[in-house]
Every structure is written in C-alpha cells, then in structure tokens.
C-alpha cells in the first residue's frame, strides 16, 4: 500500500489524502483496513478508482488477482 498527502500551493498539506493498494500476484490477498492507515469501511466500499476485483468483508479488504485500487481518506 502507498499513501500520499499532496502539498497545496502555499506548501500546506492539502485536505484530500489517498491510499493506493495493489496486488500484482496470481493469488488474491486479504489485508485489514487498520493496516491500511485505518481506511474506513465507507471509503473502502467507494474506491476512487479500481481495476480488478476488490471486496470488503467486515474490517478486511480482499484484493483479487492483479488488482489495483485508489481510496480517498
């Protein structure tokens, strides 16, 4: 997972943060939302962008084979 907080014009942190998760493998992978910088279930259910199978079950995020997703924080 990769997290980035953009800088605003005045050098201040922008209000919008995002986290990128990807699974380049041939097997699905499951990670806890807590491990993803406390990604909320609401954000996990509504990715900004997704490629492949992404599912949420309780407090876990499952990434299908060769999947990719961007979530707002």
Q: Which CATH class is domain 2-72?
A: mainly beta
Strand locations in the chain (E):
2-7, 13-23, 29-32, 49-51, 54-57, 60-63, 67-72
For residues 63 and 53, what is the distance between their CA atoms, to the nearest angstrom?
6
pLDDT in tens, 12-69: 555 577 889 999 999 999 999 888 887 888 889 999 999 999 999 989 999 999 999 9
Query: Residue 22: beta bridge partners?
Result: 68
Q: Are 69 and 50 in contact (CB under 8 A)?
A: yes
| Residue, of 31 and 4, whose pLDDT is higher | 31
pTM listed for this prediction: 0.73
Looking at residue 69, its pLDDT comes to: 94
For residues 29 and 4, what is the distance between their CA atoms, to the nearest angstrom?
22
In the chain, where the domains are located: 2-72
Looking at residue 29, its pLDDT comes to: 95
Looking at residue 72, its pLDDT comes to: 86
């Amino acid at each position: 997972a990769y997290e980035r907080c953009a800088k605003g014009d005045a050098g201040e942190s922008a209000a919008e943060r995002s986290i990128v998760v990807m699974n380049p493998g041939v097997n699905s992978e499951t990670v806890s939302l807590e491990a993803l910088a406390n990604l909320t279930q609401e954000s996990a259910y509504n990715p900004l962008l997704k490629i492949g199978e992404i599912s949420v079950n309780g407090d876990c995020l499952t990434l299908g084979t060769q999947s990719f997703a961007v979530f707002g924080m």
